[in-house]
């Protein structure tokens, strides 16, 4: 993996700063408004407990995203050609069981097999299991034509992959919840300050205005990202799969040998405009890994032992499965076969 310089961690420092920066103003509002002005020690304790509990949960999930490997692609004994590391000359010269040239089957950068839903990260210099783009950088990514296609600088310049996706969801959810909670609390305190201008001091409303504005901004921005990820989990997609319709091409069934000029499977650059429209239209209907919303959520959030929910609450936990194989939607095969026929017919028309 490429060596990371100190400036690669500056966005992570910014993330920690945005988490901790509101705390002094929050304490000022809680003490001056609920204790000194309103005389509400119980309400003060409730607000203090909720805000600091959510802050703790945000930090725990952030630590998991930074420290945990997002999903290493480990070579199995069958992919190495045997259970042992010793390979004789005859076995080494034998052709492999899979096609090196098949799209999505072999990574030419890592020179290793690439399982389903695995993508190569040019920044990390490796393949990552079930990698999806971080939506924290989605607007910048779309503007820069996917320069940072699946890498998230805000969590320590790490990818969001198979083993860190639940923690990332937990991170987004807790930030949204904390920002919304602070915004509502400060707006109510600000309304009281406007109705009673001579009761509270002159500096506390400034902190309330700043916290309310920051809370609204973060709840809208991060909340929209979280809701989008809720949609992705419900339909069992990664961000790359949702934004890249031409990933469907590698899953098409074998095309007829004659009557067309397409590769098998077809490649995006060789498609005509009508064929590209066919793929984009089909992308909205074909969900390769959608096995029902309940099973989709179990794949991401489910746990295997009795107290697995504890890890989910504290830090998001880890995802189920090995990250290499996923159940397929049985209806997708018929739709892919129909798409293959339509692509061949469109090629004949051209």
Residue-wise pLDDT for 151-204, tens only, equals 678 888 888 999 999 999 999 999 999 999 999 999 999 999 999 988 888 899
Please tell me the predicted confidence (pLDDT) of residue 146.
36
Per-residue pLDDT tens digits for 98-144: 455 555 678 888 888 888 888 888 888 888 998 876 444 444 334 33
Q: Would you call 300 exposed, middle or buried from its count of C-beta atoms within 10 A (0-12, 13-18, 19+)? A: buried
Residue 338 has pLDDT above 70, yes or no: yes
- pLDDT tens by residue, 264-291: 888 888 899 999 999 999 998 999 999 9
pLDDT of 136: 45
Please state, in angstroms and rounded to a whole number, the distance separating the CA atoms of residues 143 and 184: 33
Query: Is the omega angle on the peptide bond into residue 213 within 30 degrees of 0, that is, cis?
Result: no
Residue with tokens 């697995």: 308
Question: Is pLDDT above 60 for 251?
Answer: yes
| C-alpha closest to that of 54 among 239, 227, 179 | 179
CA distances from 228 to 20, 23, 167, 232 (A): 26, 28, 16, 6
Length of the chain equals 350
| Whole-structure pTM value | 0.86
Q: What is the mean pLDDT of the chain?
A: 84
Kindly list the distances between the CA atom of residue 286 and the CA atoms of 51, 92, 225, in Å, as whole numbers in the listed order: 42, 39, 23
Q: CA 228, CA 293: separation in Å to the nearest integer? A: 15
How confident is residue 345, by pLDDT bands cut at 50, 70 and 90?
A: confident
């Amino acid at each position: 993996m490429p060596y990371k310089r100190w400036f690669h961690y500056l966005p992570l420092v910014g993330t920690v700063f945005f988490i901790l920066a509101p705390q002094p103003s929050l304490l000022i509002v809680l003490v001056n408004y609920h204790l000194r002005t309103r005389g509400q020690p119980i309400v003060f304790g409730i607000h203090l407990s909720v805000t600091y509990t959510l802050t703790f949960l945000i930090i725990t999930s952030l630590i998991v995203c930074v420290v945990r490997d997002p999903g290493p692609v480990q070579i199995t004994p069958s992919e190495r050609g045997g259970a042992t590391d010793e390979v004789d000359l005859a076995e080494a010269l034998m052709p492999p069981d899979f096609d090196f040239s098949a799209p999505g089957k072999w990574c030419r950068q890592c020179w290793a097999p690439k399982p389903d839903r695995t993508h190569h990260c040019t920044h990390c210099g490796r393949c990552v299991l079930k990698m999806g783009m971080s939506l924290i950088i989605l607007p910048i990514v779309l503007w820069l034509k996917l320069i940072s296609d699946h890498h998230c600088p805000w969590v320590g310049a790490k990818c969001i992959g198979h083993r860190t996706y639940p923690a990332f969801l937990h991170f987004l959810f807790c930030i949204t919840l904390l920002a919304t909670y602070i915004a509502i609390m400060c707006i109510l305190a600000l309304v009281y300050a406007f109705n009673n201008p001579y009761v509270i001091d002159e500096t506390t409303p400034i902190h309330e205005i700043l916290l309310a504005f920051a809370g609204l901004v973060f709840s809208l921005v991060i909340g929209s990202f979280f809701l989008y990820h809720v949609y992705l989990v419900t339909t069992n997609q990664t961000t790359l799969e949702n934004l890249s319709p031409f990933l469907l091409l590698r899953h098409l069934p074998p095309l007829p040998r004659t009557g067309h000029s397409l590769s098998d499977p077809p490649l995006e650059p060789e498609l005509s405009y009508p064929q590209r429209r066919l793929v984009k239209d089909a992308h909205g209907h074909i969900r390769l890994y959608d096995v029902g919303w309940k099973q989709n959520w179990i794949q991401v959030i489910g746990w295997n032992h009795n107290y697995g929910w504890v890890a989910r609450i504290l830090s998001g936990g880890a995802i189920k499965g090995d990250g290499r194989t996923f159940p397929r939607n049985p209806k997708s095969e018929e739709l892919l076969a129909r798409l293959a026929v339509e692509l061949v017919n469109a090629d004949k028309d051209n």
